[in-house]
A and B are shown apart, each in its own frame.
Chain A
Amino acid sequence: MSWGAPTPRFDELIHAPVRLRIAAALATSTALEFSALQEALGISVSLLSKHLRLLGDAGYVALEKRAQPFGRPRTWISLTRDGRNAYLGHVAALEQLTRPSGPGGHAGGTTG
């Protein structure tokens, strides 16, 4: 576990636009409800499920179904430690590409 800046590392799995957006959204939370993620990204349930399955197979996200006192159970999604490392490393790699002159100022996207 490192407390410093993430190591820039291009990640092929997260690179796909939909999965990049999913990871970015999940990085703002410790857990997000499935429907909130779907609504925020404006994608279909099937598309979101497909990409979550891919991320889950890689060990990047964890899904948990929690029962409610009333109504249907809600599914919560979270980035695993590996998933967050991969996402932050990927964003750091993107930032490095946009600032090839060297380590510049602090960019918010790499921290969260």
Chain B
Amino acid sequence: MSESPLSSEQAEADLARVAAARVAVVTATRRPAWLDAIIAVGIGGLAGLFTTRTAWGMGAGAALFVLGVAAVLWLGRPYVRRRGRVVDGRAIGTQAVVNAITIGLFSAATALAPRPGEGWYSIVIGLGLTLVTFVLIRWEDGYQARRLAAGDYHRYDLL
């Protein structure tokens, strides 16, 4: 081991620099919220329009979803400034829970079809799922950011 010329106070100051640099870079490279909002609108819109059980509604929902994904892929390119995600068991479990909640809510919401004159149902489903999806996506992104900023991962779990 190399001999360290530092005092414990200097070492603490260096560790504080390390922690601050981690937080700064993770904060600077987080995915913008508006990109997550586009995805959420795509999923919420798909669910809301799907409940109309009409050909045009389902077609419009699918188109909105595809457009949302394409927009995020295209518009989001300049905002990808950091590569690497934590992919250990905890992170994969968290992602799986987020996906399960989203898919479960989507399935439940689209299982029922509103009767004629109950157009509000589709609107409520669309808005509700948009909001829930947005919160879940941001939460999962924040979870990754918190772990990266804290160094809470093994080096080989960063892929």
CA distance A40 to B152 in the complex (A): 20
Residues of B within 8 A of A88 (CB): 155
B4 engages A97 (CB within 8 Å): yes
Residues of A within 8 A of B149 (CB): 28
| Residue of A7, A22, A94, A95 contacting most chain B CB atoms (<10 Å) | A94
- Tell me what chain B mostly uses at the interface: helix, strand, loop, or mixed: helix
Shortest Cβ distance from residue B23 to the other chain A in the assembled complex, whole angstroms: 9
Bitwise interface map of B from 5 to 26 toward A, beta carbon under 8 Å scored 1, else 0: 1111001101101111110111
| Residue of A7, A28, A37, A94 contacting most chain B CB atoms (<10 Å) | A28
For chain B, give the interface size range: 35 or more
Shortest Cβ distance from residue A12 to the other chain B in the assembled complex, whole angstroms: 8
CA distance A47 to B27 in the complex (A): 22
- B81 interface residue (CB < 8 Å to A): yes
Instruction: Give B residues with C-beta under 8 Å from A.
Output: 1-8, 11-12, 14-15, 17-22, 24-29, 77-78, 81-84, 148-156, 158-159
Instruction: Give A residues with C-beta under 8 Å from B.
Output: 3, 7-12, 15, 17, 20-22, 24-25, 27-33, 35-37, 39-42, 68-69, 71, 76, 84, 88, 91, 93-95, 97-98, 100, 107-112
